Amino acid sequence: MTPASERRWLRTPSDDRPARFAYGADYNPEQWPREVWKEDVRLMREAGVTVVSVAIFSWARLQPAEDRWDFGWLDEVLDLLHSNGIAVDLATATASPPPWLTTLHPEILPVTRTGETLSQGARQHWRPTSPVFREYALRLVEAMASRYADHPALVAWHISNELGCHNIYDYSDDAARAFRDWLRTRYGTLDELNRAWATSFWSQYYGEWEQIQPPRLAASHANPTQQLDFKRFSSDALKDYLRAERDVLRRITPDVPVTTNFMVMGETKGMNYPDWADEIDFVSNDHYTHPGPQRLDELSFSAALTHSIAHGNPWFLMEHSTSAVNWQTVNVAKTPGELARDSLLHVAHGADAVCFFQWRQSAAGAEKYHSAMVPHAGADSEVFRGVAALGRTLHELTPVTGSVRQPARAALVYDWDSWWAVERDSQPTSLLRYRQEALDWYSAFLALGVRVDVVTTAADLTGYDFVAAPVLHVVPKDLAGRLDAYVRGGGHLVTTYYSGVVDENDHVHLGGYPGALRELLGIRIEEFGPLLEDAEVRLDNGLTGTLWTDRIDLTDPEVTVLARYGTGDQAGRPALTRRVLADGGSASYVSTRLGTQLSGVLATLLDGAGVVSELPAGARGRVEATVRTDGSHAYWFLVNRTDESVAFDAVDGEALTGPAPDARGGLVLPAREVAVLRVEAGATPFGRDA
């Protein structure tokens, strides 16, 4: 088998081709008559498409009945693509079981928390833990892998599709059995489980494993540790399924890299992707934006997180949209420039492939109003012209492929356990949204023009000068120790309300909040002070807090108060604190939600850490700067986040795409445009202007 390091990245059919961006889409030719296929490949070539994902939802066409297979049409599609120089990321086709299978085996259908069985007729209606589903699905994977193992168009395997998009939580009897097995592995004995789940509370003691169930609809709040473990289990169950498909593929085609499309975006939180990433050969992500003031921030945040999930290796943007989607309340079309800017922002954060859902907009079916590379209007359209222009831009960016995103000096910690824990029932407030909190901090970095990495708690923080860990609620002992060592080693940490409160079993660290981080921060909180939905508190530095307050006492002489509450129940008490240790590190605490006002506080804290923006003052907040490097060069992506042009006075570097510096070194970056400047590794284009 080819070593994992070489299977990481998708190769073009003939290996000696020069490096280039993969560019393309999901391609669903089974929705169209054959005449259209010829037109498709012609337009793909015109647009510079190099790769398409095929057969994602093709199970019913490939296996129309249990004992009938029909690969002829797919053979033809793959041959046609190959003869036109287009590579194929081939799906295992298991995403949507056909009606004959659910009719024959209704026991593969998922069951909701309230006990309803989901029906066939949409997609992804299968239980992750169903042995019956797995048997049929793996038979299909085996058939696909055997048939196409040597097809010259095949460059990668695409396992299923967005695992867990609709079926992450299944409460069926299959899930119950698998949950018990998972718990046996985690805890070994029932005594350990009873201890971890604190079953002395509400008479929940378990005497036999068989008594344990998933947290189905109950009379009141289900056991919180059971809920947290069910989330961990559900992510692991799908990971196990992913492995099962992968193992079949690796056995039959040991040299073909395997991926599956993650959904690092928005509120998609069921799948613990950092924990899945090592199961595949390269990370792929799907991303769709939501209209609103943080639209672009969220894209950038997701891309930065995907980069760290991919361990800094180039990753594959498997899906995004050319324009509107079909599944939001109002599906807004993209404005001119957004198609390319969105794509290039992913590239800026390490994507070496830019693909869309989908190639040709469906004429019928649930997604007919979802945009595509070829819209309903046809190739004579703004969208298709934008698609072809992006193909040319990616070609200009060829030298960037294979380079990696240059680490920032600051990091933002993102933690799935905390995400899961703080958004369950029975919390001090149900208004707290973990991802929104992290995103607000990310937006503050963007507003200041300071590059920041988004990392998980497993990351080595020692290389960072500054670490923000908002709402880091679940802090096991070893993490507390690492954060402590980070600050003692001279690092600068800021955390917020509801951090450090519980351990990995959701047991409170006693003695006062913020529990595991109490001594490091030099503060003690006796009681939380969450705020009612419309309530606000004023701080003595002019800021307004919402959502949360804390009743803070200072416990360490090294702590200074950066701001106090001016109004509300905590009036007069500290609101923002900073402990500066003798050896230079610091630990700061923000006890209320500041949302869009965070940038002022962050500026002070970054200043204390000596972290400054690399952008000229006039561009900060208006332009996002991201750097990729190949060791000899640095590629600076300057992304205009605004609807106005931004002017730079003195810029160095060779423009690979977008506007170039003029003879005097000035550069004007038009609204929504992106410039990519190549400079020597370690240099910045703003040497003379920052």
Q: Residue 258 or 679: which CB sits closer to ligand GAL?
A: 258
Q: What minimum distance in Å lies between the beta carbon of 161 and ligand GAL?
A: 5
From 21, 288, 419, 648, residue interacting with ligand GAL (rule: CB under 6 A): 288
Q: Which residue has the tokens 């970054």?
A: 606
Distance in Å, CB of 60 to ligand GAL, minimum: 15
Active-site residue flag, 319? yes
Nearer CB in complex with ligand GAL: 166/186: 166
Shortest Cβ distance from residue 98 to ligand GAL (Å)?
17
370 makes contact with ligand GAL (CB under 6 A): yes
Smallest gap, in angstroms, from Cβ of residue 166 to ligand GAL?
Answer: 9
Examine residue 332 and tell whether it contacts ligand GAL (CB under 6 A): no
CA distances from 54 to 51, 92, 160, 321 (A): 10, 9, 11, 17
Tokens of 556: 């360490």
27 binds ligand GAL (CB under 6 A): no
Count of beta carbons in the 10 Å neighbourhood of residue 87: 24
Least gap, CB of 624 to ligand GAL (angstroms):
24
For ligand GAL, the closer of residues 53 and 591 by Cβ is: 53
Residue with tokens 């046609």: 80
* Least distance to ligand GAL, CB of residue 604, Å: 40
Q: What is the dihedral of CA 604, 610, 616, 621, to 10 degrees?
A: -40
Nearer to ligand GAL, 324 or 571 (CB): 324
Please tell me what DSSP assigns to residue 592: S
Could you tell me the smallest distance in angstroms from the CB atom of residue 28 to ligand GAL? 9
Please state the closest distance from residue 57 (CB atom) to ligand GAL, in A.
7
Q: Which helix (H) or strand (E) holds 396?
A: helix 382-396
Site pattern 108..147 for ligand GAL (x: CB under 6 A): ----------------------------------------
Residue of 6, 39, 66, 162 with catalytic role: 162
Residue 638 CB, nearest distance to ligand GAL (Å)?
29
Report the candidate in 23, 66, 65, 21 with the shortest Cα–Cα distance to residue 46.
23
Q: Give residues 75-104 in contact with ligand GAL (rule: CB under 6 A).
A: none
Among 319, 338, 437, 614, the active-site one is 319
Beta bridge partners of 629: 404, 634
CB of 683 to ligand GAL, least distance (A): 40
Neighbours of 365 (CB within 10 A): 11
Please answer whether residues 445 and 625 qualify as being in contact, where contact means their C-beta atoms are separated by less than 8 angstroms: no
Q: Which of 240, 184, 234 is nearest to 212 (CA)?
A: 184
Q: Which residue's CB is nearer to ligand GAL, number 110 or number 214? A: 110
Q: Is 55 exposed, middle or buried (0-12, 13-18, 19+ CB in 10 A)?
A: buried
Q: Does 325 bind ligand GAL (CB under 6 A)?
A: yes
Shortest spacing between CB 369 and ligand GAL, in angstroms: 11
Nearer CB in complex with ligand GAL: 50/261: 261
Selected from 169, 301, 357, 513, the binder of ligand GAL by CB under 6 A is 357
By CB under 6 A, the residues from 143 to 202 that bind ligand GAL are 161-162, 165
Between 289 and 626, name the residue whose CB sits nearer to ligand GAL: 289
Cis preceding linkage at 226, omega within 30: no
Query: Which DSSP state fits 5?
Result: H
Q: How far is the CB of 160 from ligand GAL (least distance, A)?
A: 10
- Between 324 and 603, whose beta carbon lies closer to ligand GAL? 324
- Whether 527 is catalytic: no
| Binder of ligand GAL out of 70, 173, 275, 367 (CB under 6 A) | 367
In DSSP notation, 491-559 reads -EEEEETT-S-B-TTS-B-SSSBTGGGHHHHTEEEEEE----TT--EEBTTS-EEBS--EEEEE--TTE
Tell me whether residue 288 or residue 414 sits nearer to ligand GAL (CB atom). Answer: 288
Q: Which of 174, 319, 338, 624 binds ligand GAL (CB under 6 A)?
A: 319
Number of residues that bind ligand GAL (CB under 6 A): 10
C-beta atoms surrounding 6 within 10 Å: 11
Kindly report the number of other CB atoms within 10 A of residue 327's CB atom: 10
By beta-carbon proximity to ligand GAL, the closer residue of 95 and 141 is 95
Q: How many other β-carbons are positioned within 10 Å of the β-carbon of residue 379?
A: 17
Interface with ligand GAL (CB under 6 A), residue from 174, 236, 286, 453: 286
CB nearer to ligand GAL: give 361 or 496: 361
Kindly give, in sequence order, each residue whose CB lies less than 8 Å from that of residue 104, ignoring residues fewer than 6 positions away: 66
Read off the DSSP letter of residue 217.
S
Distance (Å, whole) CA 214 – CA 197: 13
Considering the complex, state which of residue 125 and residue 524 has its C-beta at the smaller distance from ligand GAL. 125
Residues 6+ apart with CB under 8 A from 376: 361, 363
Task: Based on the shown chain and the rule CB under 6 A, indicate whether residue 678 belongs to the binding site for ligand GAL.
Answer: no
- In single-letter form, the type of residue at position 653 comes to G
Nearest alpha-carbon partner for 136 in 192, 176, 97: 97
Instruction: Return all residues near 492 (Cβ < 8 A) that are at least 6 apart.
Output: 465, 466, 467, 585, 586, 588, 605, 608, 609
- Give buried/exposed letters for 202-239 (b at 16+ CB in 10 A, else e): eeeeeeeeeebbbbbeeeeebbbbbbbbbbbbbbbbbb
d(CA 455, CA 461): 9
The CB-side HSE value for 227 (13 A sphere, CA atoms) comes to: 18
Closest CA to 520 of 551, 570, 483, 466: 483
Q: Measured on CA atoms in the order 522, 527, 528, 533, is the torsion positive or negative? A: negative
**Sign of the dihedral defined by the CA atoms of residues 608, 610, 613, 617, in that order:** positive
What positions carry a catalytic annotation?
162, 319
Q: Give me the residues that bind ligand GAL (CB under 6 A), please.
A: 161-162, 165, 286, 288, 319, 325, 357, 367, 370
